[in-house]
A and B are shown apart, each in its own frame.
Chain A
Amino acid sequence: MFPMNACNLSVKVRQKHIIGPINLTISEGGITVLMGPNGAGKTTLLKALHGIIRLANGQVTFATPAKTAQEQQSFVFQSPIMLRRSVLENLAYPLVINRQDKQSAMERAQTWATKIGLSAHMDRPAPFLSGGEKQKIALARALITSPKLLFLDEPTASLDGAATVEIEALLSEAQSTGTTIIMSTHNIGQARRMASRVLFMKDGQIDAHSAANAFFDTPPTDAAQKFIAGDIVL
């Protein structure tokens, strides 16, 4: 499926230019962390790469046909979207959608519910759980199909430390079992802990793209340097 190539990609919303033109290659493995100031276009880029918003220009291609590639991706949104169903049914949903038989889908969902520590709440309606629990469900629901590529949009933005630790552990495990991860974050500490590569965005453009160590040791651009130092990037 890899490498993923974004070629001359740009997005407009109601004639307004949001991001691009962007050229980008992501190869297999690791965690690519997307950083940048508010309004730089991080969410838009993630959604554009995932193919759930319309591109004004350019294209995203994979080494496999588009349809196969599409089926091997998952996306975790910033505020988790819970189906109005039980925890278990939320987890099983992607499997049921992909025509897996109900029995084995439910068994797999149970395994995941236990894994994220929600085995006691499997039959409760998911929308009524806490923010951290919902985000764990969203992540487990994204991982249950064993995707090759996982996008996350600020997955821990509104969570407390304990929940953040759990999410990060799940991500590290997924990464080690063959899921390539692209995630955005505001949290520089998280970026330092998780990133193998860093994408730095500014004004709808990619300002820097480098290995994580290099990025934090010797920031390649002025904006990146300011951002890491905690200054406001305009």
Chain B
Amino acid sequence: MNDLWNGIQQAIWLTLTLDADLVEISLRSLRVTLSALFVSCLIALPLAAILAVRRFKYRRLIISTLNALMGLPPVVVGLIVYILLSRSGPFGVLGLLFTTHAMVIAQVIIITPLITSIAHQSLRELWSEYHDLLISMNTSKWQRIKTLLWDGRRALMTASLAGFGRAIGEVGAIMIVGGNIDHATRVLTTAISLETSKGDFALALALGFVLITLALAVNFTTHWLGRTEREGRW
């Protein structure tokens, strides 16, 4: 209990004084996760729409695979990305290991199936609602996908936020591929892990509170932006 209290106090103190290290790793956390989220959405959202709209041979297989991949342990992803990016691995020449790029790649692999699955769930419902109308209007496949993505944007926002939540709180994979290097690849979660291992629970908790605050801030901002956009809610 005492640790918890100390943690809260320290978190407030670190935040109020804008502790330089804290600001640095918080911004890095945000940058890595938002980059990963951006890349993931570019892949996941169109894929979800295609899976909802088109009927092709391996569709069911892809959907089941994505659902299974949602539960992928981040450590395994980290290990695989590590082996691929290692100097002795196939992509070693790129020299990406232990950089924030490697962390982005690992996070993209972790959250893309999650975002695709959640997005597909809601787009599938939307498609069953729209199906007859869009078929009747002679829309092209591309127009159908565009319509679904636009009209389903609120649900897609939720899917993206789920991906954001998973990525910002992830530690196993980015620890392995990023290396938790001070001033280079240290982010909030790996710093928390490090402080815990040093037995400095108060500081670890403080960082944890900062992480939670950051996640909440991003969520609130997103919802606020979503609300101001138009009158309707669906």
Contact = CB atoms under 8 A, between A and B. Distances in A.
B225 interface: no
Contacts of B182: none
A217 B136 CA distance: 36
Given A81-B129, A83-B130, A124-B231, A52 B151 contact: no
B23 interface: no
A97 B139 contact: yes
Main secondary structure of the interface of B (DSSP, over half): helix
Task: Name the residue among B133, B152, B230 with the largest chain A CB count within 10 angstroms.
Answer: B133
A123 interface: yes
B12 interface: no
A123 B230 CA distance: 9
Interface string A112-139: 0000000000011101100000000000
A52 B132 contact: yes
A108 interface: no
Nearest to B155: A84
A127 B234 contact: yes
Interface string B10-33: 000000000000000000000000
Contacts of B152: 84
Interface residues of A, number: 20
Interface string B118-144: 000000001001101101111100010
27 contacts: A50-B136, A52-B132, A52-B136, A71-B138, A74-B137, A75-B136, A81-B129, A81-B133, A83-B130, A83-B147, A84-B126, A84-B152, A84-B232, A84-B234, A85-B151, A93-B137, A94-B137, A97-B137, A97-B138, A124-B231, A124-B232, A125-B231, A125-B232, A125-B234, A127-B232, A127-B234, A128-B232
Interface of A: 50, 52, 70-71, 74-75, 77, 81, 83-86, 93-94, 97, 123-125, 127-128
